[in-house]
Structure 1
């Protein structure tokens, strides 16, 4: 007569475990959107295509790189009228948008963007450029899973010009988040896995694509995908499960969008 009780407890335990996993699963996306222009059709905007893709993926968070804000370059794609790329994407995807300015550009700004399903408070960190060149930033939000586990989602775009800058920026990212748990940082890091900058990041972060895929998919360029420079990194001080990582074959930008599903498990 005891067997049914034991079986019921086992079933309840499995159902509880599955429920907890579902609550703590995040779908995240990273996409360098080529300042809102079709990379292979000069003069044509990619806003509608990018927003449709985001709706299709249905992520909890999106990290956007090469984001224009009220620039002349955007205005040229919109009958001469400047607009906010992040705000427009947020409206079209029914998400909340955040913009982190890195530089002034053509009467507006250029930098990082984030989208989230729920409204959260964003923070920006400027990254070092010891070699000079274009200023760079990291943008992040803090939230909680449905079960109440805190986490941070961040996006960044490291220097495309100098390895010295990328090394310094990787070190700054490590330092800023070194005391935090459950941190996901996504973006265009402009380094390949054989670089010193990648090795510097690996001191503190796990490469989600390496955990899931062997070998990981290339992310650049769309026409000739032979380099991996877009990543999702997970903080080592946390207990992660990587369910899926994929690069989506769409030609709206010169980069492939990267999408991942991860579970945040409780740590001791």
Structure 2
């Protein structure tokens, strides 16, 4: 009889960081506070949305000049960082990021925008945990058009499925559970917050009226979701979500 690989508990986090600026105290960076939160939680993987890299915008609230936010977080957390640029912006880049406590191979994919609007990307970390492999992926879907979000969900699923590894997909999806994109994902993935109980709203951090930040786990793999927590902090306009999963 084959011996089953030893399960381990992973701590996962997603956070839309509002391009590294405190939305309730404009002109001030929020990166130190976000790094302190990450260091307190000690996650294995973090997906970050609304990430700036060397933009003039970051120079506006950092007195020592432009910032690559993922490299700043790498320095402050000791985790490996990856930036997946979605668009050129403000003489720099804007997109998604991943922090990993484990050695990872990173990839970035552009997602479709059939209705036009702002470009979006899918950031992927391929990880070997010693006895098991997985994909940790983060994205930020279109905030303008539901048609774009639907197309992006379909494209992201196709990309991830083609890799052939167990999938964790997370990020800011900019939809509620009443939208077509949610239904499509639900055909292939487990909505972690729904699985463990009554989901909590994630936006805005000051007045959380809707849930648009999610963790999704593919249905074909053996996940034991232990907890889903929406943290009550206001470093950004979104609340971070932290999941513990046994795998």
**TM-score of the superposition, structure 2-length normalised?**
0.96
**Which of 158, 172, 181 does residue 175 from structure 1 map onto?**
158
Structure 1 or 2: larger helix share?
Answer: 1
Following TM superposition, the consecutive aligned residue runs of length 4 or more in structure 1 with deviations greater than 3 angstroms are none
Asked if 1:224 corresponds to 2:224, the answer is no
Residues 74-93 of structure 1 correspond to what in structure 2 (within 5 A)?
74-79=58-63, 81-93=65-77
Partner of 2:225: 242
Q: Which runs of 5+ in 1 are unaligned?
A: 1-15
Tell me the alpha carbon deviations over residues 52-86 of structure 1, each in whole angstroms, 9 at most, x when there is no partner.
00001100000000000000110111116102100
For 1:242 and 1:131, how far apart are their aligned partners in 2? 36
Q: Following superposition of structure 1 onto structure 2, how do residues 14-33 of structure 1 map, counting pairs within 5 Å? A: 20-21=6-7, 24-33=8-17
Give aligned pairs, total. 244
Which is higher, the Rg of structure 1 or of structure 2?
Answer: 1
Return the offset for 1:174.
1.4
Give RMSD over aligned pairs.
1.4
- Structure 2: gaps spanning 5 or more residues: none
Equivalent residue of 2:183, what SS?
helix
| Contact 1:178–1:204, Cα closer than 8 Å, also in 2 | no
Residue of structure 2 aligned with 1:188, choices 155, 169, 172: 172
Q: Could you tell me whether the CA contact under 8 Å between 1:159 and 1:166 is conserved in 2?
A: yes
The equivalent residue for 1:100 is: 84
Verify the 8 A CA contact 2:124 2:136 in the aligned structure 1. Answer: yes
Conserved 8 A contact 1:219-1:225: yes
What are the within-5 Å matches in structure 2 for residues 42-81 of structure 1?
42-79=26-63, 81=65
Q: CA deviation at 1:29?
A: 0.3
Taking structure 1 as the reference length, the TM-score comes to 0.88
Corresponding residue for residue 192 of structure 2: 208
C-alpha separation in 1, matches of 2:158 and 2:166: 15
